[in-house]
Amino acid sequence: MTRALYSLCGADERRFFSPHCWKAVMALAHKGLDFEEIPTTYARIRAIGGGVSSIVPVLDDNGRLIPDSFHIALYLEEAYPERPSLFNGEGGKALSRMVEGYSQMIIHPAIMRIALLDIHANLDEEDKAYFRQSREARLGKPLEVVAADSEAEKAAFGAKLEPLRHMLKFQPFIGGQTPLFADYIVFGALQWLRVSAGLAMLAADDPVMAWFERCLSLHQSRGRTVTAA
């Protein structure tokens, strides 16, 4: 069986940075499944499977193409039920949807404002033009204007993680004593920041950093295969 995951990279094809792709990477590793990670720039996405998706990740599981990180996790849970669970039941799926909302509505916008120019700088020339046009249309401002507030965003970033900090008083992972897909959702966001701009805005003794280090060490330290910015 051949299994491949198309993951977003910059000009350096070894530096995978997408939060959504990292969710899928960790989900596959959690299931103990072998796969090849295929470096994919924004410009190459449309070529995957004849245009099956406008986004990555896309999982190719022996010819079956599944786009979207959450859909990939649901597929893996159904296709490989004998392997470690990503959800531990319907409650875990509901938890993951809530965590996904928190991550994408609260954490992701802050990271985008912090790391915007770093992400742009790490892309190849074709992707730089696409990224600038698409993000400026979305944000309604030039990248440099948005990035002018990055220091204030860094100062405020820690407070956005307070729900996670509160939870870590009671258990080592969002999933409890061991991680679930909900952990990989927030891990993916912070890995995006770590790879793109670094995590210097979080104190070394922050419980969130301790949790993040635990996640980096999971699955033969898969998260550490890409170095920090």
DSSP β-bridge partners for residue 61: 3, 64
Given 79, 99, 115, which residue is the final one in a domain? Answer: 79
Q: Residue 227, Cβ neighbours under 10 Å: how many? A: 9
Q: Tell me, what's the pLDDT at 213?
A: 98
The number of distinct structural domains making up the chain is 2
Q: Tell me, what's the pLDDT at 65?
A: 97
Across the chain, how many H-helices and E-strands are there?
Answer: 10, 4
Low-confidence ranges of the chain (pLDDT < 70): 1
Per-residue pLDDT of 168-221, as tens digits, reads 999 999 999 999 999 999 999 999 999 999 999 999 999 999 999 999 999 999
Q: Tell me, what's the pLDDT at 1?
A: 62
Q: Contact 155/72 with Cβ under 8 angstroms?
A: no
Q: For position 62, which CATH number holds? A: 3.40.30.10
Q: Tell me, what's the pLDDT at 176?
A: 98
* Residue 22 counted as domain residue: yes
Q: Tell me, what's the pLDDT at 8?
A: 98
- Same domain for 10 and 36, yes or no, is yes
Q: Tell me, what's the pLDDT at 13?
A: 97
60 is in which domain, residue-wise? 3-79
Given 79, 108, 131, which residue is the final one in a domain? Answer: 79
The DSSP call for residue 118 is H
* Residue 170 counted as domain residue: yes
- Same domain for 17 and 94, yes or no, is no
Of 81, 74, 80, the residue nearest 62 (C-alpha): 80
Tokens of 69: 């990180």
* Residue 84 counted as domain residue: no
Residue identified by tokens 């990503």 is: 86
